[in-house]
Structure 1
Amino acid sequence: MTTTVRGLLAATALIGAFTAAPAFADEAPASDITITGSATVASQYRFRGLSQSDNLPVIQGAITATHSSGLYVGTWGSSASQGNFGSPINIGGTELDVFGGYTRDLSGTTIDLGVIGYLYPGATAGNYYEVYGSVARTYGPVKGKVGVNFAPAQKVFNYSLFSATRNNTYVYGELSSSVPGTPLSVHSHVGYTSGGFDYVRDYLDYSVGVSASYKNLTLDASLVGTDLGRGRTYAGTCTSVCGEYFYRPAKPVGVVSLTAAF
């Protein structure tokens, strides 16, 4: 091989090396942190079966940062009821939740542990926090989940109207499933509140609904309610108009929402 040919081949290889190098430089490593969020418009805001918005429409939003290790932090906010005497539940017009935790999949079973703070900037009292844990597992198209939220003794319980208990336990179970071949999914939830956050008395709440998804949009229609019927609510508070005042936030209603995820 002549010197000229060797030189040409060497130059060609060198040029190839330089032109290939930027391809590696352009490939940024995958981030360990994932940011997700959502914005929602809903016909009303129900929390554990009770209306937090005087049965009026709300806007809501959320953002969460999740690390590949399973650690996460986030915040969620909603408009809410405020002192217009339309409801015995008055949380100052705004709710802002901040939370952090750890989630991990163990052979198909997802565990989730964390702490959440409920903040009400427009209220004179009522901020509190809970620790929580849940276990979820999927069987074919069906997902099952059970969990518990516990609020230990703190200042918020000094304002409890119906219970002398200075802590609260909320236990719940959920079932959901996609409908194969369609954009639809169905979901259900039942929970039990006992302790300082009872409403007239310890109570059950429930919801059942259907969602339709298109790209990043989800339209949901659900029936949400409690077992706090008129008779039981009246007996725990008062009768006639006064009793109806306490029953209204707890009665079964249809709730419609539209959520955009990003």
Structure 2
Amino acid sequence: MMKKLAVAVATASTLSFATMTHAEAFDTALGEFDTSMTATLATQYIWRGQSQTDGAGAVQGSLDIAHESGLYIGAWASNVDSEDFGGSSVEFDYYAGYGGAITDDIGYDLQWATYTYPGNSSIDVQEALASLSLYGFVLGAKYAYDPGSALYTYIDYGFDLPWDMGLGLHYGLTDTKDPLDGVSGDEKYGDWAVSIGKTVLGLDLALMYSDTDLDDDCPYTSSDSCDSNFTFSVSKTL
């Protein structure tokens, strides 16, 4: 069950390093449920290689509930740069899905998510996701279908390091079929990231380096260029 919650949180946020080891499980007449709440402080909010806070710090939080059947629901929130989001200064994501394991080394996840921006509903996004995890790799695709359409495919790989540390590798490809309202720029670009994390005194610490292959203006922010970024985060899961 912890793996299902981890999938839910990691899917919702690009910068989600919190572990699910503190999730609470409880029995009900409908079966066993796992719940988890996570709070994160980060030096910025990175989404597909681009800062959503214009380089400023981010305060993020999530609530996830998973059933033993594999069904789960959750919500995630973060501050964003209001100039890039039509006056909205916060993003609320809501998602529901189904995940499971085929073997000890192979699993899957199907999810629907909506990304909302209070104060400017015209840029809210609806998205469907499917991913397959196998032997440390995660292969996935996210399809945004409203407004417009855009496909994001990605591959992640994570493994353990000495001293109870973890290393994560990520590569993603954004293919904007129909540019979203107010968005201009390259229709296709790649992003990649390398992250290292460790739990210290109950806090999940992570450092991530991210970059894109964009040379000119960022298509989703007001930045003049999409430079590489180092992002540090501290998370606590209850």
TM-score by length of 2: 0.79
Change (3 A) 1:115 1:223: same
Counterpart check, 1:134 vs 2:131:
yes
Aligned length: 203
Greater C-alpha Rg = 1
Deviation readout 1:23-62 (Å, 9 max, x if unpaired): xxxxxx8341110121000000011111111110010000
Q: 2:161 aligns with which of 179, 196, 202?
A: 179
Indicate the structure whose relative CO is greater, using CA pairs within 8 Å and at least 6 residues apart. 2
Query: Which residue in 1 is equivalent to 2:89?
Result: 93
1:68-87 mapped onto 2 (5 Å cutoff): 68-83=68-83
Q: CA RMSD in A?
A: 2.2
Give 1:188's aligned amino acid: L
- Counterpart of 1:148? 141
Is structure 2 residue 185 aligned with structure 1 residue 200? yes
Q: How does 1:1-16 map to 2 (within 5 A)?
A: none
Whether the aligned pair in 2 keeps the contact of 1:52 and 1:91 (CA below 8 Å) is no
Letter of the 1:50 counterpart: Q
Measured in 1, the distance between the counterparts of 2:224 and 2:34 equals: 42
Q: Which is richer in strand?
A: 2
**Unmatched tracts of structure 2, length 5 or more:** 1-25
Structure 1 or 2: more helix by fraction = 1
Q: Determine which of 227, 233, 237 is the counterpart of 1:257.
A: 233
Following the alignment from structure 1 to structure 2, what is the Cα–Cα distance between the partners of residues 91 and 117?
19
Residue 205 of structure 2: aligned partner: 219
| Structure 1, 252-261 or 211-220: larger mean CA deviation | 211-220
Indicate the SS of the match to 2:122.
coil
Percent identity of the aligned residues?
24
The letter of the residue matching 1:173 is I
Of the candidates 118, 121, 124, which is equivalent to residue 121 of structure 1? 118
| Secondary structure, counterpart of 2:82 in structure 1 | coil
